[in-house]
């Protein structure tokens, strides 16, 4: 390998995914910086739509066996090939130790996928770079041990907060470095391994989110011709707090006219639709499912308030700094959200939005009513958010930090 060699195996849990377009944007920017990337996914896609950025990415896309029994010959061939590698037995020992602490079929599948990753891909790359600390991180770690290729990690939210500390500590020992996208996540990870953790925000490609050409509405919900348009973008999962949002919407005054739109798929979508019906607000709620970016952008532009009442769910899962909040702010939308995770790193209470405690339906209803009835306040907050996004959250600013880390690893291992 020469100092100019930049062959990276980029390991993901699933690709392409609409909910992870921030990763796709990062891949595109790394390609523009000259990195030779192959995307290696643990799972096949399930989304019906893709994002425009996916079609711009030139990287080769490969898939590991999603279920080992379905590609048993491929896995067996990889295992036989890896037997002759110096790191195979060390990786087997590490896997065995992990399996004793996590005796699950998923753990076994990770090692089988790692064998294929090591045999078919890693040996041809200069390094592995993996998104998500949990399952993909394990696959990349085992493959790195087998092949001796360095690996680094990008951690986000669920993968930080829902796996045990022993697993994080050991991955941090073996990886070159880890980047994460919130101060809270970085602070926590630094308690487990000081010196390897770097804070790198997910920047927004502002060329895809130009200034909103539509003037903010002066609607205040006072009559049917002044319906306030509320919007939420995010998967229908417990950590988004959408059930509490529906309760709050149902508690709004009867003389206030509003319409709420939800964009996103997710396992709780049908349950939420049934909840809206049971609360008597079905006619005012529109569940659009997952949509292409162009339609999401149009919805932002014709909305008045963005709402995302995130919470920490019973498994410990939580949002980091949701990219949809950054997107909404880029379109002059004030945001109502919660004071958890990385959200306060963008939303300053009473400046560019409002922060409340998770699951506080009374406070949420009160803030929805306040911003709905005060179009001037919405305009002021929306403009403040737009300014903050365009000065601090542009991907052109944030990608440079990641490029420097990748080049550091590649150059170190070229010597």
CATH class of the domain comprising 7-203+394-412: alpha beta
Average pLDDT, the chain: 94
User: For residues 108 and 115, what is the distance between their CA atoms, to the nearest angstrom?
Assistant: 11
**Minimum mean pLDDT range among 44-53, 73-82, 112-121, 133-142:** 44-53
Residue 286: helix, strand or coil by DSSP?
strand
pTM for the full predicted model: 0.84
Contacts of 270 (CB under 8 A, 6+ apart): none
Strand partners, 38: 9, 60
* Domains 7-203+394-412 and 224-392 are alike in CATH topology: yes
Confidence (pLDDT) at 4 = 60
With 0-12 / 13-18 / 19 or more C-beta atoms within 10 angstroms meaning exposed / middle / buried, residue 282 is middle
Residue 90 reports pLDDT greater than 70: yes
Q: What is the pLDDT of residues 95-153, one digit of tens each?
A: 999 999 999 999 999 999 999 999 999 989 999 999 999 999 999 999 999 999 999 99
Sheet holding 305-308, edge to edge: 285-289, 258-263, 228-233, 305-308, 335-338, 353-356
User: For residues 146 and 315, what is the distance between their CA atoms, to the nearest angstrom?
Assistant: 32
- DSSP label at residue 233: E
Contacts of 319 (CB under 8 A, 6+ apart): 157, 239, 240, 308, 310, 340, 341, 342, 343
CATH class of the domain comprising 224-392: alpha beta
Per the CB < 8 A criterion, the answer to whether 182 and 321 are in contact is yes
Confidence (pLDDT) at 1 = 40
Q: What is the pLDDT of residues 309-365, one digit of tens each?
A: 999 999 999 998 999 999 999 999 999 999 998 999 999 999 999 999 999 999 999
User: For residues 62 and 122, what is the distance between their CA atoms, to the nearest angstrom?
Assistant: 12
Per-domain residue ranges for the chain? Answer: 7-203+394-412, 224-392
């Amino acid at each position: 390998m020469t100092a100019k060699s930049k062959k990276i195996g980029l390991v993901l849990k699933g690709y392409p995914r609409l909910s992870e377009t921030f990763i796709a944007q990062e891949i595109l920017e790394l390609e523009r910086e000259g990195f030779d990337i192959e995307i290696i996914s643990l799972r096949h896609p399930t989304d019906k739509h893709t994002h425009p950025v996916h079609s711009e990415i030139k990287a080769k896309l490969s898939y590991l066996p999603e279920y080992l029994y379905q590609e048993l010959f491929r896995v067996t061939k990889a295992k036989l090939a890896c037997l002759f590698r110096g790191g195979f037995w060390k990786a087997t020992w590490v896997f065995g130790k992990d399996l004793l602490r996590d005796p699950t079929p998923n753990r076994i599948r990770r090692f089988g996928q790692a064998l294929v990753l090591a045999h078919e891909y890693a040996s041809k790359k200069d390094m592995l770079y993996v998104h998500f600390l949990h399952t993909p991180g394990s696959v990349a770690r085992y493959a790195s041990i087998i092949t001796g290729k360095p690996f680094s990690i990008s951690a986000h939210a669920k993968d930080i907060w829902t796996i045990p500390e022993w697993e994080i500590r050991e991955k941090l020992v073996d990886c070159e470095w880890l980047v994460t996208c919130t101060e809270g996540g970085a602070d926590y990870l630094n308690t487990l391994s000081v010196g390897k953790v770097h804070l790198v925000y997910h920047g927004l490609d502002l060329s895809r989110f130009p200034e909103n050409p539509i003037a903010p509405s002066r609607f205040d919900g006072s009559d049917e011709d002044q319906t306030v348009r509320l919007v939420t973008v995010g998967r229908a999962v417990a950590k988004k707090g959408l059930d509490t949002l529906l309760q709050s919407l149902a508690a709004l005054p009867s003389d206030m006219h509003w319409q709420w739109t939800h964009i996103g798929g997710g396992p709780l979508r049908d349950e939420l639709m049934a909840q809206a019906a049971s609360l008597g607000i079905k006619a005012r709620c529109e569940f659009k499912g997952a949509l292409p970016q162009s339609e999401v952008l149009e919805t932002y532009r014709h909305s008045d308030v963005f709402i995302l009442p995130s919470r920490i769910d019973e498994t410990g899962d939580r949002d980091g700094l949701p990219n949809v909040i950054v997107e909404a702010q880029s379109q002059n939308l004030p945001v109502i959200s919660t004071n958890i995770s990385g959200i306060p790193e963008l939303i300053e209470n009473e400046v560019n939005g409002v922060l409340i405690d998770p699951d506080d339906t009374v406070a949420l209803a009160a803030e929805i009513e306040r911003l709905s009835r005060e179009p001037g306040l919405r305009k002021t907050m929306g403009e403040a958010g737009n300014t903050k996004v365009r000065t601090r959250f542009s991907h052109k600013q944030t990608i440079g930090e990641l490029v420097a880390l990748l080049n550091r690893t590649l150059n170190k291992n070229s010597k």
